[in-house]
Amino acid sequence: MDQDTHCRAERELLEAVSRITTFSTSASDEEQNQPKAEISCQVRKEDPEKGDLQDSSASLSPNSSMTTKELQEYWRNEKGQCRQVKLLFEIPSTRIVEHHLSKYVMYKIIILQTGSFDSNKSVIERRYSEFEKLHRNLLEEFSEEMEDVTFPKKTLTGNFTEEIINERKLAFKDYLRLLYSMKYIRRSKKFIDFLTRRELKEAYGCLRGGHYTKALEILLEVIGLQERLTRGNPVAIVPTLCAIAVCHKDLENPASAFEYGEKALSRLHLHTSHRYYIPLLETMITLAYELGKDFLSLQEKLEEWKAKKDPIRVFTLKELAVREYVQ
């Protein structure tokens, strides 16, 4: 390849990188106005201490002194990371619940992730008053972002007619999609709690009552949704992973307990001050010994932590688990 051809090829690659960077920026700017999709085509790196994703495009610009080979490699990596990521919210059905003193409508919400060959879906139910509470909470924290978000109002009569229920089904579906389209809201604890807290409270209630099979069933349902909602903050699901490990351990299934314990421990390798770290290590040592696995490396981590920290009272993993969602 002569010098002119080489320079021309390099310029073309530089222009391609520039277009990718420009596209990533414009997609981010348009995010607030696109409730139905989130485009993720940026080169990103994870800050392990903050658990947040940061744009690293500033560290790499088309003016950097990269060779043609390096630019080609960058292009391949960048192209591989460009994929559409979004959660879809559907409300296909409802049911009317009647008690001796109350009557209300439960809305069935299906949450599905697309764009990643993920056919798994999460199914939850929420009533009007729970949507209303979410709206009030978000208005308090995100008044500016919520300024133009409308919420279906209550009516004095006809709340249980088919027409009103169908109208609210569509309204709540659009409401959830719009909230999810706003970055700060979809990452907020209040939004995530709305979608997971009811099920988690039920699961931990079962765990405290010794109903480990039922607790495990619920936890395994909710963990997938938690993972989807807390991308970029892997530590957030550690308590749920540990609760699953506790259930498996008490159901005398040490292999599965160890599997979920490993998942939790991998999320804490840079967060050794986390309240679950030492109880989890101690449980993993016990499980590894029982399963005939290597426990010496785990024991070394435990001893290393104890040598650096002042002796303090540490709860067992199960004691920590039963303290979750007590209110």
CATH 3.40.50.11540 fits 87-187, yes or no: no
Least confident of 38-47, 121-130, 181-190, 258-267: 38-47
Q: What is the DSSP letter of 149?
A: -
Distance (Å, rounded) from C-alpha 157 to C-alpha 167? 15
Distance (Å, rounded) from C-alpha 246 to C-alpha 266? 17
Element of type H or E holding 77: helix 68-81
For residue 13, pLDDT beyond 90: no
pLDDT band, residue 154 (cuts 50/70/90): confident
CB 179 within 8 A of CB 138: yes
What's the CA dihedral at 164, 94, 97, 102 to 10 degrees?
Answer: -30
For residue 156, pLDDT beyond 90: no
pLDDT tens per residue, range 256-290:
999 999 999 999 989 999 999 999 999 999 999 99
Least confident of 13-17, 42-46, 188-192, 260-264: 42-46
- Please list the residues that pair with 97 across neighbouring strands: 104
Distance (Å, rounded) from C-alpha 33 to C-alpha 25? 14
For residue 126, pLDDT beyond 60: yes
Order the strands of the 38-40 sheet from edge to edge: 38-40, 83-98, 103-114, 121-127
Distance (Å, rounded) from C-alpha 175 to C-alpha 135? 10
* Cβ-based burial of 109 (10 A; exposed 0-12, middle 13-18, buried ≥19): buried
pLDDT band, residue 69 (cuts 50/70/90): low
CATH number given to 195-323: 1.25.40.10
For residue 32, pLDDT beyond 50: no
pLDDT band, residue 55 (cuts 50/70/90): very low
pLDDT value at residue 77: 54
String of DSSP letters for 21-45 = HHHHHHHHHTGGG-TT-EEE---EE
What is the residue-averaged pLDDT of the chain?
Answer: 80
Q: What is the DSSP letter of 153?
A: P
CB 280 within 8 A of CB 265: yes
Distance (Å, rounded) from C-alpha 235 to C-alpha 184? 18
pLDDT tens per residue, range 128-144:
999 999 999 999 999 99
pLDDT band, residue 34 (cuts 50/70/90): very low
pLDDT value at residue 260: 98
CB 196 within 8 A of CB 225: yes
Q: What's the first-to-final CA gap in the chain, in angstroms?
A: 71
pLDDT value at residue 10: 52
pLDDT value at residue 71: 61
Percent of the chain whose predicted confidence (pLDDT) is above 70: 71
| In the chain, ranges of CATH 1.25.40.10 domains | 195-323
Task: Give me the helix-helix angle, 238-250 and 254-266, nearest 10°.
Answer: 170
For residue 37, pLDDT beyond 90: no
For residue 87, pLDDT beyond 60: yes
Number of Cβ atoms within 10 Å of the Cβ of 130: 16
CB 174 within 8 A of CB 152: no
Percent of the chain whose predicted confidence (pLDDT) is above 90: 60
pLDDT tens per residue, range 212-255:
999 999 999 999 999 999 988 999 999 999 999 999 999 999 99
* Antiparallel, parallel or unpaired: β 83-98 and 52-55: unpaired
Element of type H or E holding 301: helix 296-308
Helix residue ranges per DSSP H, 142-276: 162-181, 183-186, 189-208, 212-229, 238-250, 254-266
Residue of 308 and 166 predicted with greater confidence? 166
For residue 209, pLDDT beyond 90: yes
| In the chain, ranges of CATH 3.30.1520.10 domains | 87-187
